[in-house]
Amino acid sequence: MPVITMDGPKLSLEQKAELVKAFTKIAAEVTKIPEKSFIVLIEERERDNVGVGGVLLSQMQK
């Protein structure tokens, strides 16, 4: 079973549902694998837990 992983910010339940539906639909179309075969994992990251260029995202936003 193919696995799609999304690392990103906190999302609402509605946003997560929309992403899962869209990722699955497009991946199935491109790969010709049935939608029911896909697993989508969403990893939410706090801005305090992500660094870019040596600086935390939470500090960059200030």
User: Would you write out the chain's pLDDT as a tens digit for each of its 62 residues?
Assistant: 999 999 999 999 999 999 999 999 999 999 999 999 999 999 999 989 999 999 999 898 76
- The pLDDT assigned to 10 comes to 92
- The pLDDT assigned to 13 comes to 98
- Asked whether 44 and 16 are in contact (CB, 8 A), the reply is no
- The pLDDT assigned to 62 comes to 65
Both tokens assigned to 18: 């929309």
Distance CA 58, CA 48 (A): 5
Write the CA distances from 62 to 9, 42, 47, 52, 59, integer angstroms.
Answer: 17, 26, 12, 14, 6
The CATH number given to 3-60 is 3.30.429.10
